[in-house]
Amino acid sequence: MPGRTPAPGFARSKIGVELRPGAVKEARNNRELTLAQLGGTSLTRSAIHRIETGRSKPSMKTLVLLAERTGKPISFFLPIPSQLAASQFELERLTAETRFDEVLKRGSQILEAGGLDGHPEALVHYWMGEANVRLIRPEPAIGHLDRALRLFDDHADPWMAAHALHMKSSALYLLDDPESQPAAEAALRLCRELSPAPPMLEARILNHLAAIAVNRQEWQQAIRLYDRALSAAEPLRDLRQLSLMYEGLGMASHHLGRLTQANEYFSKALSLYALQSDMASMSRAEVNLSELLIQAGQLEAAEEHLERSLRYCHEHGVDRRNRSYTTVNLARLRQRQGRMVEAESLARQTIELASEGGELLSLATALQVLAGLLVPGGHRQEADACYEEAVGTYRALGLVGRVRACLIEHAEQLDLQGRSREAKSRWRAAALAGAGPGESQGEKLIAFR
């Protein structure tokens, strides 16, 4: 398939692309790369040096390569010809510095000033969309990204369209929307049509698809996707992406019973998150490690990890999605420890937190946990209602394996209560539900950004 052309304004030229003086060296130093590391197998050290010193101009293909390896947008390297372009560059810079609230404030100011349309408007909407995704605000993110996608399409910019579609898929994922996967697959197809294909974008999309597979409990598929993502990302040494991949591999390995390997992956992820001071991800990784310890019967050690995760959430303003993930797992641990009152309180706390935030997966899992806690106390009606709501939510999310597991658990509880007719209907429903392709019947939450 012939490759797509780069965005307008970046036409190939025999004399190369004019760069902003010092931009390549600045980008290389920010990434702590040597000349040889930046050039890799594609460019020599002397070629990079000539570009950095302005003695030669790179082709568009080379510029794309430099942007990918330094993690900078193409516009970072280009001269700033106008106040408008300077504003767009400012949004990209603020995004790179993870100052997302400032991106939204500055982007709103640019849009409110008016006089903006076409491709420049698309870029502003894109950066505001990404900022909202990073801040776990998926609804406004989708509005901005849909507008950006329409404008990128109108102006034949497949490069930015691929980025915007990937980011929209992430926003849909945060809403537990099943359309996240088709959107990610479309972004991957578009990415692979670009010439040259951007390896880091491909790695990010594969990483996202792997996270979706983990969420669906398709462990073998997740491992295949993570392996492909690692192959794409490894030469670029993006710590954020590598962290997420190792965490995902740990989850998949855990559920396939490869506990030693899972522990190694989780430990790598935790170390990389610590290097980035990424408290939200460290919080999640602590929960993942706790599950391994619970499975090994080391409940006290598991409790330490969960308490540490909660501390990260409270002390560092970690988003509610991670807090609900931690509290529902702590409820499970308390149930395992026989501390039923605390377990019920934590399950109800998670239900409230997840309901407010629209976190359907956390909500369904907490409902299932609560149902199992209510039965021994004789609260049959409330338990039945919790099981039914959990099953309905799992079904809405397309998680067939979890639907079946929840129906089986409910049927077992009904059998123990002597309610054989009702139990029979649940067993029948579980049999009809089947299991999704490659799905485990275990449960696992994942927060992916």
Distance of CA 238 to the CA centre of its chain: 15
106 within 8 A of 94, measured Cβ to Cβ: yes
Give residue-wise pLDDT tens across range 268-280.
887 777 776 667 7
Query: Which residues are bridge partners to 4 per DSSP?
Result: 194
pLDDT value of residue 81: 56
Tell me whether domains 1-79 and 81-194 share a fold: no
Nearest to 59 by CA among 3, 10, 22: 10
3-state secondary structure 152-206: HHHCCCHHHHHHHHHHHHHHHHHCCCCCHHHHHHHHHHHHHHECCCCHHHHHHHH
The phi, psi pair for 31, rounded to 5°, reads -90, -5
Tokens of 68: 């990918």
> Domain 81-194 belongs to what architecture?
Alpha Horseshoe (1.25)
pLDDT value of residue 135: 83
| pTM exceeds cut of 0.85 | no
pLDDT value of residue 216: 78
| CA separation for the pair 360, 238 (Å, rounded) | 30
State which residues of the chain have pLDDT below 50.
Answer: 1-14, 435-449
Please name the amino acid found at residue 126. Y
Nearest to 244 by CA among 275, 212, 211: 211
The DSSP 8-state label assigned to residue 53 in this structure reads T
| CA separation for the pair 193, 187 (Å, rounded) | 10
Class of domain 198-284: mainly alpha
CATH topology of domain 1-79: 434 Repressor (Amino-terminal Domain) (1.10.260)
pLDDT value of residue 83: 59
pLDDT value of residue 439: 39
The domain ranges of the chain are 1-79, 81-194, 198-284, 319-449
Class of domain 319-449: mainly alpha
pLDDT value of residue 286: 82
Mention every residue, 6+ apart, whose C-beta is less than 8 A from residue 106: 87, 90, 91, 94
